[in-house]
Amino acid sequence: MRGFYLEKKMTGNPKIWRYMDLTKFLAIIIQKELYFNRADNYEDIYEGELASGDKELLQSNPQLEIINQRDSTFINCWHENEVESAAMWKLYGNIDDAIAIETDLVRLRTSLPIRIEIRKVDYIDYDNNSIIRMCLERNHGLSVQDILAYKRKSFIHEQEYRAIYWKIPDSDELDEGMTWVHPKGINLSIDCSILIKKVHISPYASPLLESIINSILKKYDLAHIPVIKSQLYTRLN
């Protein structure tokens, strides 16, 4: 069943973007899948980690350690912005064939086929906060997904929404010792016609790329999706 989600404290329907190179865009269109990266497989080594203020809580309540399951939790990240971002083009698409998918929260959650939590990330000082206390105060409960809704303030420029999938392995995914070899990432099926509102092409791209993208979308019955060449560095008057 599509569009069946658990969400907490989410209001409105903000515009969100995902910046990528052409290869990753083609993988989404051709395979009809979104890639979810394992939480402990990011460049930020603190991704999904508890803050310094949680150490005392864990010492007195060791059972809370069960919430820290980065190796079985997978994330797909989106940037919130009403307009295209020059910073995001440079960070994630500073190449000639970069693409940005524009969508919104309703489209994202409706396009995915399984139960996933979508969270807006809060950026906090990890040295002077307790994520566990903040979760308990805000949500009156605690889950694996709650922990992954926080990042360090150094990443506040990302303005991130994230789709979070906590994977419980099926019996056929366990080895002879009944343990699960955690993959670095997983692909989840999506409906591209629902997910993708617009496709934006990098301001650095050649005119040929727009024609290529339109041809690809037409081939996969997605010709209704607008393709927009960024005018970020073009004088329009």
pTM of the model: 0.86
pLDDT, tens only, 113-155: 777 889 999 999 999 898 888 888 887 677 778 888 999 999 9
pLDDT, tens only, 3-61: 434 455 556 899 999 999 999 999 999 999 999 999 888 888 888 888 888 887 777 77
| pLDDT, mean of residues 177-199 | 84
Strand partners, 100: 19, 200
Beta-strand relationship, 227-229 and 99-104: unpaired
Indicate the domain borders of the chain: 15-229
Phi first, then psi, for residue 122 (nearest 5°) are -100, 140
Q: Please, which contacts does 28-32 make with residues 24 or more away whose CB atoms are closer than 8 Å?
A: 28/101, 28/190, 28/192, 29/192, 29/216, 29/217, 29/220, 29/222, 30/220, 31/187, 32/189, 32/190, 32/191, 32/192
- Specify the DSSP class assigned to residue 192: H
pLDDT value of residue 211: 94
pLDDT, tens only, 72-110: 889 999 999 999 999 999 887 667 889 999 999 999 999
| pLDDT, mean of residues 200-206 | 91
H or E stretch including 50? Answer: none
Side chain identity at residue 230, one-letter code: S
Greater confidence, 76 or 180?
A: 76
Question: What's the pLDDT band for 67 if we cut at 50, 70, 90?
Answer: low
Strand partners, 171: none
pLDDT value of residue 178: 45
DSSP conformation letters of 123-180: EE-TTS--HHHHHHHHHSS--HHHHTTEEEGGGGGG-EEEEEEE----GGGB-TTS-B
Question: What's the pLDDT band for 181 if we cut at 50, 70, 90?
Answer: low
Greater confidence, 50 or 164?
A: 164
pLDDT value of residue 4: 37
| pLDDT, mean of residues 147-167 | 92
